[in-house]
Structures are given as C-alpha cells and as structure tokens.
C-alpha cells in the first residue's frame, strides 16, 4: 500500500515490513488493516490458533475498520474559473475535470468529455476541499445537552484508551453546516481535559448512518495530548495540578508504553506461549512510539511547546502538529527546525492566561519562518468559514509587512492540514490523481462575501447551494430546524 503521506516517519527506524506486521497486531493504526492481507475481516470468527501452533486473537482482527464507499457521481468539468490548486500558482480562466472521485486534469482549454456535467465557473473560484485538523463536531454535538456531550473522558488524566470515533454522532446537525462551508475532511478529536485524551478519527464529512462509513480509508490515527491549564484545572484536586505534574504524567505513561511495546514486539516475533495481556491505553501509546499514530498536541505557550518537543525526543516520537499554538510565533524557528506543524486560530485571544499573548500575525510569522501553518477551528461555527479565517490571518500579516501570498494562505486550510493528518498523498491539493475534494466558491474565497456554491467530496456533489436536492440535513434537523438553515 502506498503510504498516505510522503513523510509519515517511523522514528525508531522499524523496517516497513516489520511495521506492517506490527500494524496487524491489533495495535491497529487499524485504518490500515484493510490492506494487511492476513488480517481477518471484522465479524468473522478466526480459529484461536493456527495449525502451526501460533496464537491469534482479537489483536489480529480488524478493529472498527472504515466501511467508507465512494458515492458515484457523473464526471464534472468546471470551466473558466480561477483555481487555487494549493500546489502552484493561482490559475485564471482555468478548468478542472473530475472523474471517478479523482482530479483528472487542471488547466486551460480542457475539452468536456461527452458524459460530463459542465459547470460554468465564470467569476467563481475553485479550491481543494477545506480540511480541519481540529474539530469536536460529532463528539460535542448540537443541541449541546449533556446527553451528547461526549468529547472529554475526564475521569483520568491519561485516557489513551478512548477513541473519538466511539463518541461520534453522525446525525449531529453541525455536520451539514460545516459541509456548506466547504469542509470535506475533519479530524474529530477528544477534548483537552486530559494529558492524553485518546485517539482521533480522520473523517470524510459526508452524510452517513455510521461513523465507520465516514472514516477516511487508510488515514493514520491521531493521538490527542494536552498541555497547560486545562489538565491542571480539571485534575487539580487529584493531580496533576501543576505543569511539572503534567510533564511527569506524560513521561510515566510513555515509560509504561515503552515496556508494553517491547513485550508485544518480542511476542509477535514468534507468537508462541501465552500472549501478553492487551492494554488499550498502552496499545495506542505503543503505536505512537512505532510512528503509526500521529501526535496532535493542544499547547498554547511557547515554553511549554519546547518542553513537549523534549518529551517527544526522550521517547523517540514526533509531534505532528501543535494545536492552538497561540505563542507559536515566539518559537517559530524551533518549530520549523523540528518539522512540527502549527494549527492555529486567526485571532482567538484572552479567554485564559495561556491565550493572553495571542497576536493576529501568528500564522503569518509561522509561515514566514517555514513552519507548516494551519488554520483550524475548534469550533462548530468557525469551521463554517475556515477559508475566511485564513483570509483574516493573511491580511493581518500583510498589513504588518509580512508578505503572505494567496497561494500560501490557501495551503493553511488544505494542503498543510492534509499533511498534518497524514493524508497529503491523497488529498489537499488539486493535482491529477488526487481525490476530487473540491469547492466551487461564488467568489474569491478570501473575501467575506463568498460562499461555497458546490462542494465535491471524493467526487460526490455533496452540497449545492442552488439545488435543494443536494443540501443534506440530519435526522435531528427534520421537523425542528428551519429549512434552508445555513444556506
């Protein structure tokens, strides 16, 4: 299987073959299991042991695999639009051809195939689908009662064993609102109450009865970690109640994970004798150590991010992206050197002490320093206009004399989040062979007045502002919310 990301690294240098084998060890990164030939499909009952005496068990079986299927859609040619590919210069008067869920061609003078739907893009703009690295849609669903508040397993500072997808409600009425804002992929994350909050899920934002049918095939899992005020506030009576307590908590967890990983790796070599006990918490952390699960770290303060980078070095993993990184601009050089992305807001400020030093030029300064910069939402309203928050941050930079190009800014909500989620070889740019994750905007996506006119998710016209038959509503919406909500 082609790796989904050109730069998904295995820091400990495990050979790919060994890595694949380990992947089958229940240890999962189980989005990948569909490609590991010897893994039993979920739901079947394999024998407790093979004829040769090797032992199999739950760890060998598919674990909550993606059942996502691309929705058929006729080929589409969008003509005479301005196209921001996120992979090169802005193209004027250009066309893009989508077929079978893929971008086939981008350029001038593309002839429409006979079976293609032709869309006039005159005066309109095309970008890749918007990707949000930080969403709690589905896990903190509307209408916001305790009944669907499923985002923080705030019962222990380390809950690496929980998976956001097991909380995700596909009928959250916030989903169609985000789709109407041009969002095609989200990372649904556990909240930030805990030092280690659990696994994230990378999801295609499509109407679905189950979360499994939204899971982005092959996407690696993420691990949500959190620094600073939130864990020490939530656990102040039982600990950790300080930042040094936070650090000790991460270190203790990863020390246990190292031992667990060693035990399992040794056993999997021969599969003889009783297997070690499975521990869901350590299984996830061991996968982080193997480089199969990407770390997404909620962290505001510059000094604290530097501590977390040292923690990662101590245990030999990489932090894929800091989230919020409100003080990222203070250590932009360090982040660039470490290759850690920064998922930031345009201007959120001052709601707590660790956000007090926010500046609207954070994204621009990070970009200028060479950091993979991302505008994320962490908000069910903000997710509906991530392109505009990128615009706000781009213009804040320009006004301060930091020259941010449109080509750079569009990558903040497309190519760069795709990289952070480890899916950049599949989506995030408009290049031949990439997924047909495409938004047609009514005007310049960096203008406040532009709306998503059409949204294609993996080639499926999942939203059309001018066609009520392409405006999905959730079950919750029926008979309750106004028709045309969010249009």
- Write out the residues near another protein by the rule CB under 8 A: 142-145, 173-174, 177, 229, 329-333, 345-353, 356-361, 365, 369, 379-381, 384-385, 388, 391-392, 394-395, 399-400, 446-451, 476-477, 480-482, 484-487
State the residue for tokens 């004027």: 92
Please, what is the minimum distance in Å from the beta carbon of residue 400 to another protein? Answer: 6
Smallest distance from the beta carbon of 355 to another protein, in angstroms? 8
Name which of 279 and 357 has its Cβ closer to another protein: 357
Rounded CA-CA distance 170/54 in Å is 39
CA gap 157, 227 in Å, rounded: 11
Beta strands 438-441 and 125-128: pairing type? antiparallel
State the minimum distance, in angstroms, from the CB of residue 258 to another protein.
34
Cite the beta strand spans of 339-428 per DSSP E: 341-344, 373-375
Nearest to 418 by CA among 410, 479, 234, 432: 410
Closer residue to another protein (CB): 56 or 149: 149
Nearer of residues 124 and 261 to another protein, judged by Cβ? 124
Of the chain, the end-to-end C-alpha distance in Å amounts to 40
Cβ-based nearer residue to another protein, 48 or 351: 351
In contact, 199 and 167? CB cutoff 8 Å: no
Nearer to another protein, 104 or 326 (CB): 326
Nearest approach, Cβ of residue 483 and another protein (Å): 9
**Smallest distance from another protein to CB 147, Å:** 11
* Min separation Cβ 451 and another protein, Å: 6
Sign of CA dihedral 439, 444, 446, 448: negative
For residues 465, 469, 470 and 474, what is the CA-based torsion angle, rounded to 10 degrees? 110
Work out the burial of residue 37: count CB atoms within 10 Å of its CB; fewer than 13 is exposed, 13-18 middle, 19 or more buried.
exposed
Instruction: Kindly state the smallest distance separating residue 358's Cβ from another protein, in Å.
Output: 7
CB 336 within 8 A of CB 371: yes
Residue with Cβ nearer another protein (180 or 423): 180
CA distance 265 to 271: 10
Taking the C-alpha atoms of residue 355 and residue 352, their distance in angstroms, rounded to an integer, is 5
Minimum CB distance to another protein smaller for 99 or for 323: 323
């Amino acid at each position: 299987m082609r790796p989904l990301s050109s730069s998904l690294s295995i820091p400990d240098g495990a050979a790919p073959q060994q890595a694949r084998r380990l992947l089958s060890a229940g240890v999962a990164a189980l989005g990948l299991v569909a490609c590991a030939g010897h893994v039993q499909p979920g739901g079947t009952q394999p024998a407790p042991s093979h004829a040769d005496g090797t032992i199999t068990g739950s760890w060998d079986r598919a674990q909550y695999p993606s059942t996502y299927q691309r929705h058929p859609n006729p080929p589409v040619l969008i003509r005479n639009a301005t196209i921001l590919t996120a992979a090169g210069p802005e193209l004027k008067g250009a066309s893009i051809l989508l077929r079978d869920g893929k971008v086939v061609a981008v350029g001038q003078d593309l002839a429409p195939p006979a079976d293609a739907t032709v869309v006039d893009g005159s005066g309109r703009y095309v970008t890749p689908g918007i990707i949000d690295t930080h969403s709690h849609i589905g896990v903190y669903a509307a209408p916001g009662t305790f009944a669907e508040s499923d985002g923080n397993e705030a019962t222990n500072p380390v809950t690496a064993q929980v998976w956001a997808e097991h909380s995700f409600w596909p009928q959250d009425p916030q989903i169609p609102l985000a789709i109407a804002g041009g969002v095609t992929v989200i990372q649904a994350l556990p909240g930030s109450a805990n030092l280690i909050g659990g696994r994230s899920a990378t999801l295609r934002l499509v109407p679905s009865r189950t979360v499994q049918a939204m899971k982005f095939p092959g996407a690696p899992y993420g691990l949500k970690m959190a620094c600073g005020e939130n864990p020490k506030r939530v656990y102040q009576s039982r600990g950790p109640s300080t930042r040094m307590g936070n650090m000790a908590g991460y270190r203790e967890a990863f020390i246990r994970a190292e031992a667990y990983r060693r035990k399992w790796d040794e056993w999997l070599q021969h599969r003889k004798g009783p297997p070690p006990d499975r521990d869901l918490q350590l299984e996830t952390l061991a996968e982080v150590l193997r480089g199969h699960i990407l770390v997404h770290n909620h962290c505001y303060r510059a000094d604290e991010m530097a501590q977390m980078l040292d923690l990662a070095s101590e245990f030999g993993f990489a932090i894929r992206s800091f989230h919020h990184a409100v003080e990222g601009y203070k250590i932009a050089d360090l982040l660039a050197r470490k290759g850690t992305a920064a998922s930031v807001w345009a201007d959120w400020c001052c709601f707590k002490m660790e956000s007090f030093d926010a500046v609207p030029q954070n994204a621009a300064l990070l970009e200028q320093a060479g950091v993979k910069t991302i505008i994320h939402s962490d908000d069910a309203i903000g997710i509906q206009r991530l392109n505009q928050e990128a615009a706000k941050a781009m213009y804040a930079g320009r006004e301060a004399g930091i020259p941010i190009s449109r080509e750079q800014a569009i990558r903040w909500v497309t190519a760069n989040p795709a990289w952070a989620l480890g899916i950049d070889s599949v989506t995030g740019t408009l290049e031949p062979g990439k997924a047909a994750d495409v938004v047609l905007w009514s005007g310049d996506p960096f203008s406040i007045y532009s709306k998503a006119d059409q949204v294609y998710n993996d080639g499926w016209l999942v939203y059309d502002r001018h066609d009520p038959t392409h405006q999905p509503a959730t079950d919750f919406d029926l008979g309750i919310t106004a028709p045309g909500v969010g249009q």
